[in-house]
Amino acid sequence: MIIVMAQLKAKSHKPTKAFQGNLNFAEGSYLESTSRPLYALLFLLPFVAVYEFGTLLVNTDQIAHTQARVATFTWLMGLAEFLGMQQSLAWAFPGLVVVIILLCWHLSSHYTWRIRPGWLGWMAVESVLLTLPLFAMGSLVKSSEVANAAVNGGNDSAMMHSYLAKVITSVGAGIYEELVFRLILFGLLLMLLEDVLKAQKLIATVFAVIISALLFAGHHYVGFQGGRIISPEEFELGGFIFRAAAGIYFAVIFHYRGYGITAGTHSAFNIILFAFS
């Protein structure tokens, strides 16, 4: 419920009026409606299913924690195990978190349950189009994401297995990195800065964007495994700058277009990156 309150604060949604602070999108329009949590949930459910079941089929040792997975996903799995959930079931917890947060957010906002199914397709198109600035940034800053996109060599079977694993992982990165760093962290930072520290809305928003972006970039280089700090990837300044800039870009999208489009754009960028490598 705290997370839901944070998101309501971050978005300043009022169900009977046009969005406040979201460029005043007309109520009931495509831009206003698809920013709502119900559209995000319906749009992202196929992504969640592809990642959850895809990793079980392609990377069958994921449950045993013997293979690397999206870091934010493993954080949520660790939380589930800490709360007492069996390891064999903890893999379902992150997807459940996405569903519960978006459903609670929708219910607390008193939005209508009516949707236009065709708009879900347009959300996919919009997500792909919003990747273009990211590729433009990648061409200006040598990023580790772009540099590491190529699939490693090997026999055809191994290459296909690696390729599918990376595509599936790229889907999960969009969902769960945006869940942690935008849907949860960004909203909580706004609540802390505005409600607790009494910062002005503009100042609070700028700081929340920057802090969440820097933490998003940094988590690629610092991680935890077996109770100790590890370095999942060698630090590269160009890669850090690109990821921080991407974090700012994702935060802006989240502020104006909601979690669904943000996660969709992140996943689409990763998928395109791997698909054409």
What are the pLDDT digits (tens) for 54-63? Answer: 877 765 444 4
Write down the pLDDT at residue 277.
Answer: 64
List, in order, residues 6 or more apart from 194 with CB less than 8 Å away: 9, 201, 204
Residue 7's pLDDT band (cuts 50, 70, 90): low
pTM: 0.81
Report yes or no: 146 and 131 within 8 Å, Cβ to Cβ.
Answer: no
Q: What is the mean pLDDT of residues 265-272?
A: 93
12: pLDDT strictly greater than 80: no
Write down the pLDDT at residue 6.
Answer: 53
Residue 231's pLDDT band (cuts 50, 70, 90): low
Share of the chain above pLDDT 70, in %: 75
Q: Lowest-pLDDT range, 8-12, 29-33, 133-137, 245-249?
A: 8-12
Specify which residues 229 forms β-bridges with: 224
Write down the pLDDT at residue 225.
Answer: 60
Two structure tokens written together for 206: 């700028």
43: pLDDT strictly greater than 60: yes
pLDDT tens for each residue of 20-37 = 344 568 888 999 999 999
Write down the pLDDT at residue 51.
Answer: 87
Q: How far is residue 277's CA from residue 270's CA, in Å, rounded to a whole number?
A: 11
Find the distance separating the first CA and the last CA of the chain, reported in whole Å: 41
Two structure tokens written together for 80: 């589930």
Check residues 95 and 143 and name the one with the higher pLDDT.
Answer: 95
3-class SS string, 243-257:
HHHHHHHHHHHHHHH
How many C-alpha atoms does 52 have within 13 Å on its Cβ side? 18
Q: What is the mean pLDDT of residues 183-198?
A: 92
Two structure tokens written together for 40: 């995000």
